[in-house]
Structure 1
Amino acid sequence: MIYLQLFLSYLQIGAFSFGGGYAAMPLIQAQVVEKYHWLSMTEFSDLVTIAEMTPGPIAINSATFVGTQVAGLSGALIATLGCILPSCIIVTLLAKIYIQYRNVKIMQDILGTLRPVVVSMIAVAGLGILSSVFFLSGKFAPALSNFNIRGIIFFAGALLCLRKTKLSPILIMVGCGILELLYQTIF
């Protein structure tokens, strides 16, 4: 039964996550954290970090990670297959349709309409991850004790480095990881 749940969950994610990995994050969160409770919100934030750091698409990396957590190697294979199957079918069909109708106005209108939808899905994913970093409970609460000061400092420092320097995002992530390791070792 768990294999079927994994396959169908990631089949939905693969079928409806238009716009790439960040647009898939709210869908992955809805399935993995909220519906099936395979991961907590903290583990989901860790999943996003791991999926971002490893090569490959975020949705596929998350399918492999969650599948392994839930049902071992066979779970990873089934979740990953569920994630990539819709893309294989949809891209093949869309390529054929696009080649045939690329200059038709309605096709351009449809693509133009999808752009803001994808941006909003990415924004929802970003805000969800930000709230899990900024607030210890993972949700906004006005109490000062609920703020994750270290997370806010790391976020602000990383954002500043990304905006003001030409440093690679990978180096900034590694640097933040080293700083957190030093902090945990000292305190």
Structure 2
Amino acid sequence: MEKKQNAYVQLAMAMLRTGILGYGGGPSVMPLFRYEAVTRYKWTDDEEFGEILAIANALPGPIATKMAAYLGYKLKKTSGAVVAVLFHIFPSSIAMIALLSLVTVLSHSKVVIGMIAGVMPVVAVMLGEMAYNFGEKTVKGLGTVFGIAMFAVSFLLLETVHIHPAIVIMIFLAYGSVHFRLAGKRENREKERDVAG
């Protein structure tokens, strides 16, 4: 019973922190999720977190709530998913309700504009560090030349051809499923040949 309570408390506190400190939402909160899930509580490792993040990006809807739901479900099934999502959205829900009447004043406030300007470099560095870590793992997993080629192709599709990110994600999901299925079959054939030989 004690273990159950501790897991729920850990989950609630982790999601509350991501909700409170997750300035900007979406991808900018992912380094916080990674810290809580991988570094602090060790619910998952970097490789699994990267896979979850890729799947969450490919699915429709807010990425942060999908990540919260997954981590909660991984830990405590359905009740964990409910707890994780509720505690993640609680801080921003309260803040929105509290600040709704002040929106027009705050949007023109020099203090708020200054705060936003001060936080943006921090968010950029956090995203850059996470992108570097995942990029490094991707390049190692695919091979240096192939990994860099995939980065270049995705960059060209997004920035030069201006294809919608959802379409690029679907293209790479389709490619990845075919590529790794064929690679798995080839690996199995080689193992069978080694056993037979």
Q: Shorter-chain TM-score: what band? A: 0.7 to 0.9
CA pair 179-2 structure 1, distance change in 2 beyond 3 A: same
Q: How many Å separate the matches in 2 of 1:186 and 1:9?
A: 39
Is the aligned partner of 1:43 residue 2:48?
Answer: yes
Name the structure 2 match of 1:168: 164
**Which structure has the larger Rg over C-alpha atoms?**
2
Mapped to 1, the partners of 2:148 and 2:125 lie a distance apart of 23
Give the TM-score of the pair, scaled to structure 1.
0.83
Q: 1:156 aligns with which of 152, 174, 187?
A: 152
Residue 15 of structure 1 is aligned with which of 11, 17, 20?
20
Structure 2 unaligned runs (5+)?
Answer: 1-5, 184-197
Greater helix content: 2
Query: Any idea what SS the aligned residue of 2:43 has?
Result: coil
Q: Is the contact made by 2:68 and 2:85 (CA closer than 8 Å) also made in structure 1?
A: yes
Q: CA 1:166/1:2 → structure 2, altered by over 3 Å: closer, same or farther?
A: same
Of 172, 181, 185, which residue of structure 1 is paired with 2:177?
181
* Matched AA of 2:68: A
The answer for the alignment partner of 1:139 in structure 2 is none
Cα distance in 2 between the residues matched to 1:102 and 1:179: 44
TM superposition shift of 1:149: 4.6
1:78-99 Cα deviation digits (max 9, x unpaired): 0101100011112223333443
Cα 1:90–1:147 change in 2 (3 A) is: same
| Aligned residues: CA RMSD | 2.2
SS of 1:11 mapped into structure 2: helix
> How many aligned residue pairs are there?
178
Per-residue CA shift, 1:58-104, capped at 9, x if unaligned?
11110001111111011100010110001111222333344345444
Unpaired runs of 5+ residues, structure 1, are 137-145
Counterpart of 2:119 in structure 1 is 114
Question: What is the rounded CA distance, in whole Å, between the counterparts of 1:8 and 1:181 in structure 2?
Answer: 36
* Cross-structure match for 2:87: 82
Q: Which residue of structure 1 lines up, in the alignment, with residue 186 of structure 2?
A: none
- 1:148 shift after superposition: 4.9
Answer yes or no: is the 8 Å Cα contact 1:23–1:122 preserved in 2: yes
- Give the distance between the partners of 2:40 and 2:175, measured in 1 at CA: 35
8 A contact 1:154–1:176 mirrored in 2: no
Mapped partners of 1:119, 1:57: distance in 2: 19
Cα separation, 2, equivalents of 1:31 and 1:67:
12
Counterpart residue identity of residue 31, structure 2: P
8 Å CA contact 2:58–2:170 kept in 1: the answer is: no
Question: Are residues 106 and 179 of structure 1, via their aligned partners in 2, closer, same or farther at CA, if it must alter by over 3 Å?
Answer: closer
